[in-house]
Structure 1
Amino acid sequence: MNKTDFSDMPCPVAKSLARVGEWWSILILRDAFYGLTRFSEFETSLNIAPNMLTRRLNDLVENGLLERKPCSETPTRFEYHLTDAGKDFRPVIWALVAWGNAHFSPEGAASVLVNRHTGVPAQPVLIDANTGEKITSENYRVGPGPAASEQMRYRMDFLRLKQEAGNENLRFNPPAKADA
């Protein structure tokens, strides 16, 4: 089965999924945030086949989320460290922890985000850095950016109009070519 390549799509969600959309990749990033750096550490933590781990690590390096650094010469061994782009994925991991605990952990949370200084569990929320306001669907929506195509602008306008009108009967009927 061939994997669909989303990297050329204009949608930022699609572009992001092209880099981290494979579940092993997200789990490797999670473990990198927890401090793992060596192939053997990832392999043991994830119980992943070495060939799969090699592919995923290579993809994460190629996509600029991890960097490979030599840590020994004989035999040659490497460590994997988060790049700035990789570090910027951390809030996504924190959001997945909170979302998974809230919706898929009836037995209770296996891990939680805690304040480093107090140890008190935190509840991550998305905040608008410009206003300090909590981002909610009541106050915020996704809109077209400066590079949005005509197709994307149509989709964003349609969704806005549908919400504003409260009309569930409106049907999405984009112009001929859909791009994202």
Structure 2
Amino acid sequence: MRRTSFANWPCSIARTMDLLGDWWTPLVLREAYYGIRRFDEFQHELGIARNTLSDRLRRLVDEGLLEKELYSTEPKRYEYLLTEKGRDFFGVIAAMSHWGDTWLAGEAGPPMVFHHKSCDNDTHAEVVCAECREALRSEDVTMQMGPGYPERLRERPDVQRRFARQAEASRSSEEKPV
């Protein structure tokens, strides 16, 4: 069964999901953040089929999140190192972890915590406004067409309705007394 590609959709969430493709890809990245670099280590830690891991690593290299570095010539073996693009994805993984800790962790608490080396405290990810640093919550945000929204789609009635409906929902929630 062929999967639908979201690579050209005018939505960064859809494009990111297209890059991720499945549940294994974020887990491969998680292991890379843990310091795993070699194929056999990824395979051992994840228990993933070798062909599936090979495909995921190839995709992450092709997309520029990992780079291959030769560490043995006989036989040829590679390490997979995070690139700047791959390191920048950490915030997404950290936000997913915090959401999972909040909504899916058992009574014992989170299965793993982030420890911030700079301040020597356990912490979690928070999504904040880049301008005012307030927590960024869905009810406080409206989506608007950005400069990269395709010109050919801007005037379509369904697109206009989508953005008008979202703006209207935002206005009506502002008018409700607290």
TM-score, reference length from structure 2:
0.85
Does the aligned pair in 1 maintain the 2:98–2:125 contact within 8 Å?
yes
1:59: which partner in 2? Answer: 59
CA distance in 1 between counterparts of 2:130 and 2:140 reads 14
Question: Which of 156, 164, 173 is the equivalent residue of 2:171?
Answer: 164
Match of 1:177 in 2: none
Report if aligned partners of 1:5, 1:18 keep a CA contact under 8 Å in 2.
yes
Distance 1:69 1:154, change over 3 A: farther
Aligned-residue offset at 1:118: 4.9
Higher helix share: 2
Identity across matched positions, percent = 34
The equivalent of 2:176 in structure 1 is: none
Shift of 1:119: 4.1
**CA 13–80 in structure 1, closer or farther in 2 if over 3 Å, else same:** same
CA distance in 2, matches of 1:19, 1:93: 14
**Deviations along 1:88-115, whole A, 9 cap, x unmatched?**
1100111111111111112421101122
* Aligned-partner Cα distance in 2 for 1:22–1:42: 16
SS state at 1:158 partner? helix
Relative contact order higher in (CA < 8 Å, ≥ 6 apart): 1
Shift of 1:3: 1.3
Partner of 1:101: 101
> In structure 2, what is the equivalent of residue 12 of structure 1?
12
Taking the aligned partners of 1:74 and 1:140, their CA distance within structure 2 comes to 55
Q: What amino acid is the match of 1:139?
A: D
Q: CA deviation at 1:49?
A: 0.7
Runs of 4+, deviation exceeding 3 Å:
151-154
Q: Would the aligned equivalents of 1:144 and 1:153 in 2 still touch at CA under 8 Å?
A: no
Could you tell me how far 1:158 is from its partner in structure 2?
1.7
| Residue 155 in structure 1 maps to residue 156 in structure 2 | no
Please, which runs of 5 or more residues in structure 2 have no aligned partner? 174-178
8 Å Cα contact 2:139-2:170 kept in structure 1? no
- In the other structure, the counterpart of 1:24 is 24
